[in-house]
Amino acid sequence: MDFNKISIMGIINITPDSFFDGGKWKSQQQIHSKIEKWVEHGIDIVDVGCESSRPGSNPISIHEEIDRLNIFIPIIKLFPDVILSIDTYKPEVAEYALKNGFQIINDIYGATNNEIFKVAKKYNAPVIIMHMQGKPESMQDNPKYDNIIQNISNFFSERIQTALNFGIKHENIILDPGIGFGKTFSDNDKILHNINRFKSLGYPLLVGTSRKSFLQVNDDIPDSRFANSISSMTIALLNGANIIRVHDIKDSIKVKIFIERYMSSNGLSIKKRFFN
């Protein structure tokens, strides 16, 4: 991955119950057609998840997660230039994915199961370390923090050191503050405003706000949050995010191109902004 530029990560949830696109990807033909269009638009990364992590969701077994993933595996060889990320916290699923053509592990539990680091080291794979308070089934019950930004920073510092101790290369660590995962609306707003604080740790930052509930205006539903998503994405990028995880690929790539042009026209360096 080239962190001298902004990267757009497209979301494929092969699940029946994800909060926005659950049940949409039921066949290889549907998935192939969607990724083909994304490639035409200029997608950087495709993130594939086979277990829903929406608030209130329940975990599934390793066998069921791999069974769902098998729908995607035959498609991989058709897109040899696309970087693939597996959205899982299970070491067995991560290893299965890496064996079959994936390159990145995206762990919503922040690799708190250190076996994830062992798998990542074995395959020399980047790991996305995300912060979440609690578990998806209960994370939004009543999230509380002493200081949301400091608490997340402390979590990252501990996880980074553990990753390095397990032999993960510095360049293979990516951080995600976990917007919407065990946070109040106000917490999420503070995270967007303080992205530079997390960037000071010295690692690329992934931000995912797409269609999430904290974006709602007048209690609108996920289908009505397109403008809200693009707005929050723009804030994240201007504040220093490297990777944006989105559902709306075509328009998100337009935003990326505009921001890169804006920065270039004003003599601003993408690389310098990304690595303070």
Chain centroid offset of residue 26 CA = 22
Active site residue 245: yes
Q: 159, 212, 225, 256: which is the annotated catalytic residue?
A: 212
Q: Pseudo-torsion of CA 179, 181, 182, 186, nearest 10°?
A: 20
Q: Tally DSSP H helices, then E strands, for the chain.
A: 10, 8
First to last CA, the chain: 18
Active site residue 212: yes
The token pair at 193 is 């405003």
CB atoms under 10 Å from CB of 68, counted, come to: 20
> Phi and psi of 221, rounded to 5°?
-95, 165
Q: 54, 68, 245, 273: which is the annotated catalytic residue?
A: 245
- Environment class of residue 134 by beta-carbon count within 10 Å: exposed (0-12), middle (13-18) or buried (19+)? middle
Q: Sign of the C-alpha dihedral, residues 42, 45, 46, 52?
A: negative
Q: Which residues are catalytic?
A: 212, 245
